[in-house]
């Protein structure tokens, strides 16, 4: 009779082999390879910090089998890059798992491929979990910190859970070299946008503002209890706020019902609402409260 230890070991090995079919090696930086996840039959997700050029990238599917790829786009804030190949890759694509029900202490395994295309793995536990967070204006749906060793070449590879499905992409490029995992929901959202546009859009309303204290007398006169607002210093011509009727010198005090103590609050509201959505804006103009509706735009590429 097989021991429980042997059964668990065999099951983990089978999960690694199965999920590993969707993990590739990526040669996008001279002398250094990383790993990648086959998202669709001709699209590979990898860690953006490991890609140094846009073309002449090689994808190693298995020992002795490599193909050329090119950069389709990158979301640097989340360390995610999307690579495109000119042919269909005839092997299993990633089977992603929902990460919402994860718990600290669960067993996880990171999977990568070596420069030659051999599968490698590193096991550990989930050392830390938190909710949504933002890095360089990029919203990441969940903070996932696996407690394991990411050896050289593992960045861009997969993290799998107890059922063998992929929880997300591991990377050492976001937090001082320590391993983090970009969750599956964030990966698919960013990959879809990169595939369509080649970049990840940043929401904006076309205003330059600075926080100011609102005098108590103005609070009473306008009927707005906020003690701090954002003073409009510049309105971009033709931008979302300009179209909505916002003027230089207006004082923005609420957006979608949320008070704005600083510019971070503003960005949080815009990210949650998303590009193309309408937000309600409460403004003090000439001592009087006025309400506007602003349609969030996409920050132009410079």
The string of DSSP letters for 131-173 reads --EEETTEEES-EEEEES---TT-TT-EEE-TTS-EEEEEEEE
What pLDDT score does 212 carry?
93
Domain ranges of the chain: 4-197, 203-298
CATH code that applies to domain 203-298: 2.30.42.10
| Strand-pair partners of 177 | none
Quickly list DSSP for 72-88: EEEEGGGTEEEEE-SS-
CATH code that applies to domain 4-197: 2.40.10.120
Helix (H, G, I), strand (E, B) or coil at 105: coil
Mean pLDDT for all residues in the chain: 92
Quick one: which of 267, 295, 290, 266 has its CA closest to 279?
A: 295
List, for residues 250-293, the tens digit of each pLDDT value: 999 999 989 888 888 898 899 888 899 999 999 999 889 999 99
The yes-or-no verdict on residue 136 having pLDDT over 90 is: no
Q: How far is CA 170 from the centre of its chain?
A: 12
For 102-125, what is the mean pLDDT? 96
Instruction: Supply the pTM of this predicted model.
Output: 0.83
Q: How far apart are CA 144 and CA 87, in angstroms?
A: 33
The yes-or-no verdict on residue 3 having pLDDT over 80 is: no
List, for residues 30-57, the tens digit of each pLDDT value: 778 999 999 999 999 999 999 988 888 9
The yes-or-no verdict on residue 148 having pLDDT over 60 is: yes
List, for residues 72-82, the tens digit of each pLDDT value: 999 988 999 99
């Amino acid at each position: 009779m097989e021991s429980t230890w042997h059964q668990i070991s065999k099951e983990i090995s089978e999960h690694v082999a199965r999920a590993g079919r969707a993990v590739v090696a990526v040669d996008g930086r001279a002398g250094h390879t990383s790993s990648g996840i086959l998202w669709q039959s001709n699209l590979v997700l990898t860690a953006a910090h490991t890609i140094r050029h846009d073309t002449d990238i090689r994808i190693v599917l298995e020992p002795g089998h490599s193909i050329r790829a090119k950069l389709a786009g990158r979301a640097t804030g989340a360390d995610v890059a999307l690579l495109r190949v000119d042919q269909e890759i005839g092997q299993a694509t990633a089977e992603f798992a929902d990460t919402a029900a994860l718990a600290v202490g669960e067993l996880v395994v990171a999977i990568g491929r070596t420069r030659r295309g051999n599968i490698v793995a590193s096991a550990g536990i989930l050392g830390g979990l938190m909710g949504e967070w933002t890095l360089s204006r990029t919203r990441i749906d969940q903070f996932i910190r696996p407690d394991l060793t990411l050896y050289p070449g593992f960045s861009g590879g997969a993290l799998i859970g107890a059922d063998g499905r992929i929880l997300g992409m591991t990377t050492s490029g976001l937090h001082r070299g320590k391993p983090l995992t970009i969750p599956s929901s964030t990966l698919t959202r960013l990959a879809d946008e990169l595939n369509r546009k080649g970049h990840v859009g940043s929401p904006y309303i076309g205003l330059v503002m600075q926080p100011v204290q609102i005098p108590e007398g103005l609070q009473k006169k306008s009927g707005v209890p906020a003690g701090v607002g954002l003073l409009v210093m510049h309105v971009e011509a033709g931008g979302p706020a300009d179209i909505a009727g916002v003027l230089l010198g207006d004082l923005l005090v609420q957006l979608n019902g949320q008070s704005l103590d600083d510019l971070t609050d503003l960005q949080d509201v815009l990210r949650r609402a998303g590009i193309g959505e309408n937000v309600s804006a409460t403004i003090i103009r000439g001592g009087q409260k006025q309400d506007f509706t602003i349609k969030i735009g996409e920050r132009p590429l410079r």
